[in-house]
Amino acid sequence: MPDVPVRFRWLLPPEQRDLPLPAYASALAAGMDVAAAIAGETVLRPGEIQLISTGFAAAVPEGFELQVRPRSGLAVKHGITVVNAPGTIDADYRGEIKIGLINLGQEPFTIHRGDRIAQLVLAPVCQARLHLVDSLDQTERGSGGFGHTGL
């Protein structure tokens, strides 16, 4: 796997830097787990959306993005997911990375300081160069949209 440096900066005062930086849970993991940098705990009620602090900023290299994705265990067991999944941290953003969580479950869910709440995936990006044309190539699918294959 290629090794791409991403600079992180704590935004928390030194006495509050007891949290781990995002980290891979295994050698071949695609996503780095991210901890909640909240003061104590917060309750996410069913249907509620909250923006959760991480306490850090990052300098994503040009040509890459950090994708914010749900943690599968939280999603499957509790219905806790990233509201705009996947979220995007652009290479030119330098503010605090915050995680927009939503509770799609049936029960309130308590988030504690240091809980792993999402994962970050470093991904390459390219920008499209659009060309305005009068017509598009024909394909077998054509304009068949949602559900056209029977699913």
Which residues 6+ apart lie within 8 Å of 61 measured at CB? Answer: 4, 5, 6, 91
90-127 confidence digits (pLDDT tens): 999 999 999 999 999 999 999 999 999 999 999 999 99
In whole angstroms, give the CA distance from residue 98 to residue 95.
9
Task: Name the CATH architecture for the domain at 7-124.
Answer: Distorted Sandwich (2.70)
For the residues 131-150, what does the mean pLDDT come to? Answer: 85
Spans of all domains in the chain: 7-124
Residue 68 · residue 87 · CB < 8 Å: yes
pTM (predicted TM-score): 0.89
pLDDT band at 142 (very low <50, low <70, confident <90, very high): confident
61-95 confidence digits (pLDDT tens): 999 999 999 999 999 999 999 999 999 999 999 99
Q: Are strands 49-53 and 98-103 parallel, antiparallel or unpaired?
A: antiparallel
